[in-house]
Chain A
Amino acid sequence: METYNHNRSKKLLWCIALFSIAYLLPHSAVAQTTDLFKLQDEQDKKDAKEKTDITTSIFKSTRLINGQTIENTGAGILDLRISHRFGMVNTGAYNFFGLDQATMRLGLDYGITNRLEVGIGRSTFNKEFDGFFKYRILRQSTGKTEMPISISLAETGVWRSLKDPATTYQINYSDHFSFASQLILARKFNDYFSLQLIPTMVHYNIVADKEIKNDLYSMGVGFRARLSRRVNLTGEYYYQITQLGGYKNSASVGFDIETGGHVFQLFFTNSTGINESSFITQTQGLWSNGGVHFGFNISRVFTVVKPKNAGRTN
């Protein structure tokens, strides 16, 4: 008798339990015992797994020193860039170690979308005009979608407007053009270190010699290493696999200094030209004998199109 009763009450307890659950389900999470703190913690954990976090600030600016970085100007943002190189340090005290002279590039970049940036520029070197676009194909991310690297494509066209020297052959208008096609592969390893590889092809519509190819291949490598909250060490090297002839590989080292909304770049480089064709394939300076320029890049951004729902509160 005892056992019978016991079994029956056990069954009944089960019934109560089932009934309670069935009753509670439609009112999910309304029970008196609901603890929002716990509920939120659990949800946050779930959300973290569901969310893809796109890695930002792989580099601090859209240019590393002379060349492009993986970074784009944000959508609706206009970036006025002044790239300035003093003369070569080894020109001596008479030229105040290069500070008497200057070459520069004035540029305007604009972000059409967060993935697509376009820009135009004018350089004093060979009186060149240039235009480029840069498109982000892949974005490094963590979380739900894991992507180890970012990849961008950059295409630059350069028009040399410097008057031609007298030649024995006919020079056409199109002969003043050169182009650079670059694939930028970048990875931010952590907040302190990022690296990028830039396989590049520079095409000249005309070259000086039959021996020289019109398509010149090179490989660029660049890094940034964080020294402090506001200062990053940067470096850039372009190795020329095929050469225009007699030119050096571009090598630069400098600092990115962040000042509020801007990045100020100070560096030494052996390249005089500032657009892709000229610094990758026409670098003349030699580091070993002081053939380097001191230089700086200043960038000032203007918001042209405000992001939706963002920004100013007044």
Chain B
Amino acid sequence: MMNKATLVLFLVTFSFSLHAQKLFSTKTGQIRFNASSPLEQIAAINNQVDSKMIDKTGQIVFSVLIKSFKFENQLMEDHFNENYLESSKIPKADFKGFISNIASVNFAKDGKYPAVFIGTLTIHGVQQKVSTTGDVIIADGTPSISGVFKIKLADYGIVGSYIGGKIANEAEVTVNCKYQ
């Protein structure tokens, strides 16, 4: 009985040290979006993106407060919050997924590694399975990720007569997060 217990202790201790994984996180990631049309410049930036990533599993999450998107035009920001994203009812958007080719990223070696992100994007309370490509960049041992992808506003229940006119049907989303 005692031997068994010792063995368990031994295994527990070593399994952790062998498979030690690292959690990288940031609260100051950046997400920009651009839904400009030829008629109107519609772009905003959010510098308070909360993101976490685990190196071994490639698991990655983003959590974004809608109200933290800053527009140049304040009225546009109000309309974005009240009429389109309904941020008082649905304050957050998030992404939960994995970097599917995380094994190809060498966290110990500086460089730029192409990455494939697969997961669930939730905007305006609507979940959509998404898959996009980007980069994992290792610089001085700390990772950053960057990526650009497009989302169709209608897919997330974001509707209004201006969409397709003054507002583009698709928004281009640019992600830049530097982890600690």
Contacts and interface: CB of A to CB of B under 8 A. Distances in A.
B9 A16 contact: yes
A49 interface: no
A313 B34 contact: yes
Contacts, number: 135
Interface string A23-47: 1100101111011110110011001
Given A16-B12, A40-B63, A310-B44, A191 B92 contact: no
Contact of B162 (A23, A37, A57, A260): A260
A262 B34 CA distance: 19
A12 B2 contact: yes
Contact of B73 (A30, A35, A48, A303): A303
A309 interface: yes
A9 B8 CA distance: 12
Interface size class of B (residues with CB under 8 A): 35 or more
Contacts of A230: 83
Given A309-B47, A311-B43, A77 B74 contact: yes
Contacts of A260: 40, 76, 79, 162, 166
Contacts of B106: none
Interface size class of A (residues with CB under 8 A): 35 or more
A5 B86 CA distance: 63
Given A9-B5, A23-B16, A229-B83, A44 B92 contact: yes
A5 B3 CA distance: 12
A37 B71 CA distance: 29
Contacts of B89: 191
A11 B174 CA distance: 55
A13 interface: yes
Given A23-B13, A30-B23, A191 B43 contact: no
Contacts of A313: 32, 34, 43, 45, 174
A43 B50 contact: yes
A20 B12 CA distance: 7
Contact of B81 (A24, A57, A306): A57
Q: Most chain-B CB neighbours within 10 Å: which of A31, A37, A47? A: A37
B21 interface: yes
A57 B82 contact: yes
A307 B76 contact: no
22 contacts: A5-B1, A8-B1, A13-B5, A27-B16, A27-B20, A32-B21, A34-B23, A35-B59, A36-B53, A36-B54, A40-B52, A53-B88, A56-B67, A260-B76, A261-B73, A261-B79, A301-B75, A306-B72, A307-B70, A310-B72, A311-B72, A311-B73
